[in-house]
Structure 1
Amino acid sequence: MQRYFIETSIEKARISGEDAHHIERVMRMKEGDKIVVVAQDNAHICTIVAFEGDGVVIQPTGEIIPSPELPVQVTVACGLPKGDKLELITQKATELGMFALLPFEAERSIVKWDKKKGVKKQERLQKIAKEAAEQSHRTHIPEIYEPISFKQLVNQVSNFDAVFIADEEDAKSIKRTRFAEKLKNAYDKKSNSILIIFGPEGGIARKEADALLQAGAQTMSLGPRILRAETAPLYALSAISYEFE
């Protein structure tokens, strides 16, 4: 069944905008057809009861589909990467269970966030996250935040139960810190919110890593191989899924 998100409660369920157009014009659904509607983080099986103007009126059947969400809220913070890598990270990380995406302006970020075009780019990323959440049957659409400064990122560390930095120098070390062990420790401490931080191309600068460690973050190693900026977050989310699910 097709899945759609609404911002109102299921009792006031009405689908409008692009989703209504998709239901009526693209999928060519009719009254009586069933769809899945996600409201307030719950996925409800609903029946289409009417097409009114540019909206679709639905009626919940009372059946709720179990949530597929990760048992921990994982926010991905990534240094602004080149090209369309942020779009790839948004899409694939959403499929893997990311809770939110927090881009930041890292020392080694080559690209700069264009404030004039930033709103439209952020809206596009949010749309990509919504479509990926629908495709992967999520009950939560990750929030894509506007990029912040590195100083603001450091101030965010205290807002999470556990914070990990993907440190390239750790990966090169003979005695690497095992991410699996740190995840197990976070699980034992019943950490509900996790922030994982990745640098752009070139990785996290040493002074950035030191500042994050002083703020309470921990290093993590994603194995002996150096991963690309768009690969590392996906690897980490997969490892978190393996450990917690």
Structure 2
Amino acid sequence: MQRYFIDLTKEEVKARGTIVITGEDVHHLSNVMRMKAGQEILCLTTDGFEAISTIDTITKEEVICLLHGWTNQNRELPIQVTVASGLPKGDKLELIIQKGTELGANSFVPFQAARSITKLDQKKSHKKRARWEKIAKEAAEQSYRNVVPVVHPVFTFKELIQMTSEFDKCVVAYEESSKEGEQSRFSSLLQEMKSGQTLLLVFGPEGGLAEKEIEELETIGAVICGLGPRILRTETAPLYALSAISYQTELLRGELLWEQ
């Protein structure tokens, strides 16, 4: 069943009884998928609920759907994970956002790190963000997410430091920790986290985070850790971490509950 994200909450949909789809999704629904009145689709609300809906009317500007019920399906990670990436070169951030969305990230924060080669002015940053948001939306639809991850504007490192206070935990992937053989902090932290808590994951660009940046993050209580014995690329590390989080909080915990 085709899935479309809408700018309404569950309560707003219930109050109206109808759903109006606009923008690029109208073209996709009518011209790409060739859908007709009477067919069912799923509409995803801004607060993460799936509405079972039937297409009533299709025009060039909008698609009107009638609400039939709710699936009560939740495919989100038990903890809310934000991925903060030091701006990498080329289209690597696009890959991080696309695959990170598939793996369950709740939001993404690109930031200007000391070793970031890529520099974005305000105009370029605005255009890039629009593309990143589109990638996140398409990946969320494809992977059956309940919500579209938020893609924040490009932060300075100072703004990133200020943001850390909003999270229950902050983890910083540092290659020097991996080189030194540190492999337990990340695993221990994940075992301690409870459903509903928030986690900020910080990754450096090519070349990693500078020592001064690590020191500042340590000062505000971030957990500095390695991600196994191998050194991962800037676009690989977030995906590794998200996969580990999914295993620890979904597969492993589900297995333990099953055994009980």
TM class, shorter-length? over 0.9
Between the two proteins, the alignment pairs up a number of residues equal to 243
Q: Please state how far the C-alpha of 1:174 moved relative to its aligned partner.
A: 3.2
Question: Residues 26-105 of structure 1: matches in 2 within 5 Å?
Answer: 26-39=32-45, 40-105=47-112
Which residue of the partner structure matches residue 255 of structure 2?
none
Structure 2 residue matching 1:182: 3-state secondary structure: helix
Q: Is 1:205 aligned with 2:196?
A: no
Unaligned runs of 5+ in 1: none
Q: Residues 179, 28 of structure 1: CA spacing in aligned structure 2 closer, same or farther, 3 A cutoff?
A: same
Structure 2 residue matching 1:13: 3-state secondary structure: strand
Which residue of the partner structure matches residue 6 of structure 1?
6
2:197 paired residue among 192, 204, 219: 192
Q: Is the 8 A contact 2:49 2:70 kept in 1?
A: no
User: How much identity, in percent, do the aligned residues show?
Assistant: 50
Distance 1:63 1:196 in 2: 33
Which residue of the partner structure matches residue 128 of structure 2?
121
Question: TM-score, structure 2 length as denominator?
Answer: 0.90
Q: Please state how far the C-alpha of 1:63 moved relative to its aligned partner.
A: 3.0
Which residue of the partner structure matches residue 135 of structure 1?
142
2:245 paired residue among 236, 240, 243: 240
Q: Please state how far the C-alpha of 1:24 moved relative to its aligned partner.
A: 0.8
Distance 1:191 1:108 in 2: 33
Structure 1 residue matching 2:238: 3-state secondary structure: helix
Question: TM-score, structure 1 length as denominator?
Answer: 0.95
Which residue of the partner structure matches residue 116 of structure 2?
109
Q: Is 1:22 aligned with 2:28?
A: yes
Q: Encode CA deviations 1:104-139: one digit per residue, 9 max, x unaligned.
A: 110110111132222111001000000000000111
Q: Between 170-179 and 144-153, report the one with greater CA deviation.
A: 170-179
Q: Which amino acid aligns with 1:196?
A: L
Aligned alpha-carbon RMSD (Å): 1.3
4+ residue segments displaced more than 2 Å? 8-12, 174-178
Unaligned runs of 5+ in 2: 251-260
Q: Which amino acid aligns with 1:221?
A: G
